[in-house]
Amino acid sequence: MNRTTKHFWLPGLVSLTAAMGSLMILILISLQPRFLGRSPLQMVILPWLIVLPFCGAAGAYLSGRLGAGLRARLVAGLFPTIVLFALSTILILTRLVVIARPQWWNGSVALAVGIILPSVSLLLGTMPFLRAKKPRAAA
């Protein structure tokens, strides 16, 4: 396995899989008939934002454990939002997703809820693993 795969892609994909898996589970739970009265904010977004630091921490920890540098650990922890931003940009630019009411307010709310809040949440989990490793003293 080459260095880029070991330090970046594998930990990033672990972080992405954990984040998207937890989002999928939360959406499936919120679709149950007994939860129909609750808002999507209460049922999906807030619990997902609480789970995301653990997803970012998993990616950054795995990347650091495999010997990656600071940038690779940071990107591995933030990988889910990088992928979400790139995917949403591609879908909007190719007009595969058309925004119903293209007003600046809707776009800014979507950017805040879909990219900025998850990025901050992932960064909270990633930050403990961004410290430089201290060399161990020989015993």
pLDDT digits 0-9 by tens, 31-83:
776 665 667 777 788 899 999 999 999 999 999 998 888 999 999 999 999 99
Instruction: Give burial (CB, 10 Å; 0-12/13-18/19+) of 93.
Output: exposed
Residue 56 or residue 110, greater confidence: 56
Q: pLDDT at position 131, please?
A: 82
φ, ψ at 16 (rounded to 5°): -65, -45
pLDDT-derived band at 93 (thresholds 50, 70, 90) equals: confident
Residues 6 or more apart whose Cβ sits within 8 Å of residue 101: none
- H helices of the chain, in order, are 3-4, 10-30, 40, 46-65, 70-93, 104-111, 117-126
Q: pLDDT at position 111, please?
A: 80
Domain boundaries, the chain: 3-129
**Tokens 């959406």 belong to which residue?**
27
CA dist 139 → 65, 119, 130, 134 (Å): 22, 41, 26, 15
Is 49 within 8 Å of 121 (Cβ atoms)?
A: yes
The span from the CA of 56 to the CA of 74, in Å, is: 9
Q: Which of 131, 125, 128 is nearest to 18 (CA)?
A: 125
pLDDT for 7-16, tens place per residue? 899 999 999 9
Alpha carbon dihedral 122, 50, 54, 9, in 10-degree steps, equals: -40
